[in-house]
Amino acid sequence: MKRHKLSEREAKENLMSNCGVDYSTEPYVFIYAGPHKTGTTSIQSFIYNSLGKNASYLVEDKFAIPTFDELPGVFGGLGPGLNLAHCMLENYVKDGGQMNIAMCNRLRFGALPLYLEKHRNQSHNILIVAEDFDRITINHSRLSYYLRPYKRIRVVVGYRRQHDWLPSWYNQIVDLYTQKYIQGEFPYPNFLQWIDGRYNEFRQVHAIEVATRFRNSGVFESVDILNMHDEVSLLEDLFCNYVLNANATCRGIKEGATPTKPNIGRTHEYERLATKAHLRGKLPNYHAAIAPKVAEKIKITAVRMGIFKDGDAYPRICLNQTFLDQLLQTEMEQERKHFPPWYNSQGGDEGLRKAFQNAKHKLCSMDDEQ
């Protein structure tokens, strides 16, 4: 590459051309690989809804979207791509996956190969969206093998600043374990406890790390990082700037086509407080189905009784300054490297420092013992 003064993408295109791949006619597989809390639910909702409501966009753009029929397994609904992702874990269930080898063989030798063969022969591109492609043990070569006969695979991951992404990720995870916390099977961690015990683990599934693993595999035509802090909406940015040959879909989004199921998270501070009260015998008949309503009632009551001046004015404990400084420095380094023009347009280091300062409240938890 250095000898011939080629970029990485140009070098790959030359290699593919020498291998008989014509970029003007060869269809490709597009994978949005998450990570979690980077709009995967919205994208899934949009593309699977478009199979019925907005199918004309994708048909015009010659895109095919595999459904549960082609990607069978544990996950249905909007998430059949997760079945494929879990089959890519190096050691399947041993790596925390939900798909065992037998289930993956049914996927591998079932309808998927015929589906891919048919659509490649029709010069259709394939769209796959699954956040669990962010897992550390994803076998990228196996993924390429499963997607044969397609020769071109393009990958995009979504970038959120860690000070924005980590609290969102925490809230999703504790939401999944609500009933187990209520039953006392696990202690209900606040955000600080969660970060203290698992930061290094979750740092490995942040966008920059995920993109690095995909790139280092050398398997994919391109691996791009979409900046979710740009002013353009996620769907418009994705289909207008990253998904090749999606002109009709891009136009449809600009004209108002939207996902039917955005995944809007919520904080769990009052739910954690309610759970602790329940485990101490002060809140009987409490369970996961009513947890959000009970938490909201406690919040309203606390304000009405003058305990807090508003629902967010509870006593807080926050991450220590050393950790915050390290987090800010990491974000600065990542954005200088991966989004330099945008980063400079936002004020560079000073702009990020201000944004970080304005969001510091997200990096705190209710002091529920006080």
Residue 89: beta bridge partners? 138
DSSP 242: I
**pLDDT tens digit sequence for 306-334:** 999 999 999 999 999 999 999 999 999 99
**3-state class (DSSP) for residue 205:** coil
Residue whose C-alpha is closest to residue 246's, from 121, 63, 33:
63
Burial (CB < 10 A; 0-12, 13-18, 19+), residue 215, is: middle
CB 47 within 8 A of CB 58: yes
Task: Tell me the CA distances in angstroms from 138 to 89, 132, 229, one per residue in order.
Answer: 5, 9, 27
The H-or-E segment that residue 259 falls in is none
- The whole-angstrom separation of Cα 18 and Cα 354 is 49
Three-state DSSP string of 310-333? CCCCCCEEECCHHHHHHHHHHHHH
CB 55 within 8 A of CB 64: no
CB 338 within 8 A of CB 228: no
**pLDDT tens digit sequence for 154-203:** 999 999 999 999 999 999 999 999 999 999 999 999 999 999 988 999 99
Instruction: Enter the pTM of the model.
Output: 0.91
Which has more pLDDT, 11 or 80? 80
- The whole-angstrom separation of Cα 332 and Cα 337 is 9
Q: How high is the pLDDT of residue 8?
A: 53
Using CA atoms in the order 208, 210, 215, 220, what is the torsion angle rounded to 10 degrees? -130
Q: How high is the pLDDT of residue 3?
A: 45
**pLDDT tens digit sequence for 70-117:** 999 999 988 999 999 999 999 999 999 999 999 999 999 999 999 999
**pLDDT tens digit sequence for 238-291:** 999 999 999 999 998 998 887 766 666 788 999 999 999 999 999 999 999 999
Q: Which segments of 36-169 are extended strands (E)?
A: 63-64, 125-129, 152-159
User: For residue 150, is pLDDT > 80?
Assistant: yes
- The whole-angstrom separation of Cα 49 and Cα 129 is 14
